[in-house]
Structure 1
Amino acid sequence: MSHNLTLAQNHAFDLARTLMVPVILFQVDDEFGVMLSSEYDGEHDAIVHEYDPWSSAH
């Protein structure tokens, strides 16, 4: 988990591009985490962004 949103965003994007799978960037309290989209079962409201390596938008 990270307290820095910019750092978490960069890691999420890099992870998605490295693994070539969609990942979710989520926030719990004041921390950010990243995990595979297929494994995320948390609150929908906690999702900050989904990074899809197959999409051209970042």
Structure 2
Amino acid sequence: MSHDLELAQKHAWNLARTLMTTVILFQSDNEYGVLPADEIEDAEVTALYEYDPHLGASAVQ
């Protein structure tokens, strides 16, 4: 987990490209983290961005 959004975004994009799967950058309390998109369903977190290694990043609505 990270307290720096910019650093978390860089790591999320790198992870998506390394794993070649979509990942979600989320916020929980005052920290940011990343999970593969298929693992975030029941987590009690606020999704911020989705990183797809083929399409790039997009804000989650």
What TM-score results when the alignment is normalised by the length of structure 1? 0.87
- Relative to its length, the structure with more helix (as a share) is 1
Structure 2: which 5+ residue stretches go unaligned? none
**Relative contact order: is structure 1 or structure 2 higher (C-alpha 8 Å, sep ≥ 6)?**
1
Count of aligned positions? 56
Measured on the aligned residues, the alpha-carbon RMSD in Å equals 1.3
Which aligned segments of 4 or more residues in structure 1 are displaced greater than 2 angstroms? none
Structure 1 unpaired stretches of 5+: none
User: Percentage identity across aligned positions?
Assistant: 54
- Decide which structure has greater strand share: 2
Question: In 2, distance between residues paired with 1:54 and 1:11?
Answer: 16
